Amino acid sequence: MLYNFPQHRSRRVRQSPWVRSLVQETDLTVRNLILPVFIVEGEGLKIPVDTMPGVYRYSIDQLLVHLDLVNGLGIPAVALFPKIETWLKNKEGGVALDPDGLVPRAVREIKKRFPELGVICDVALDPYTDHGQDGIPDDNGYLRNDATISQLVQMSQVLAQAGADVLAPSDMMDGRIGVIRNMLESQRMVNTMITSYAAKYASAFYSPFRDAVGSGSALGSSDKKQYQMSPLNGDEALREVAMDIKEGADMVMVKPGIPYLDIVRRVKDEFKYPTYVYHVSGEYAQLQAAAQAGYLDYDRVSMEIMQCFRRAGADGILTYCAMDIARRLSA
């Protein structure tokens, strides 16, 4: 009996590991991974972040011990985020401008010990302000865009002079990329790169991160919708990315990750530009909670998530899973 079988059977190229490997469209390697790291003042400290299992805040001396492992896994870069003591915070976030502050000292020590490891520094005021917002508010609580940029430029200069390889403005103030780039050029720090949080959404997935840097309690019931993007908007992300590229960003970022894979794909297709994605704290916490409850296989699901980021077009992935993924890739 003859059957009208299809000429093309898609399963033919799925039948064996060797042919599946040959037709694989996307690769994930350790060079795609960036590890976010939290730091605190003190010595000998490795403090768990309660809402992020497996994640810690490190004093600088313990950070260097940790980074020895990170560097050994071949992870190319880390992103630093500080938890600042409450008594140092104020309305303007002035301690962010201290050249002997926590982050500049950490940068200097990292570059001294691991010169080959890329160091990315967050440029935003929320860890440093007593209100938990990313900038300087007026009397009505509206963030003053240009006054905030003035602080961010000075903060950027301090971090670049300390040896940061990449500045990563995450504040979403209008025009800050161009002003920071002009400062770097005028100060002859022309090789300092800028990774712009170009499409950063006002997401509910950030809560564990805010616990980790200590801005959550200060923020309270307030939100950041006056400057971060609405999750309902996609075209707006392309406009934001276009402006930041024009102003001199070397890479652009979409944040959060999994719920915004469509934005990652659109950005990559539209601009063909180095595109990063941040697998944020809430996404990580969800995965850990489900794995600990036995609902998901952490290793398999975390790997699948990273592969999907790459398939969507991400060149770099900031993820708290970076060390676990690196170990699996080298196994």
Q: Point out the residues that are catalytic.
A: 200, 255
Tokens 């712009």 sit on residue:
196
**Intra-chain end-to-end CA distance of the chain, in Å:** 49
* Cβ atoms 281, 208 nearer than 8 A: yes
For β-strands 56-58 and 77-82, DSSP reports them as unpaired
Q: Which two tokens stand for residue 161?
A: 């002079």
Torsion over CA: 209, 281, 100, 60 (sign): positive
Q: CA 211 → CA 45, 50, 71, distances in Å?
A: 17, 8, 26
* Cβ atoms 230, 202 nearer than 8 A: yes
Neighbouring CB atoms inside 10 A of 315's CB total 16
What whole-number distance in Å separates Cα of residue 315 and Cα of residue 279? Answer: 13
What whole-number distance in Å separates Cα of residue 245 and Cα of residue 11? Answer: 42
Continuous segment of H or E residues that includes residue 267: helix 261-271
Max distance between CA atoms of the chain, in angstroms, equals 84
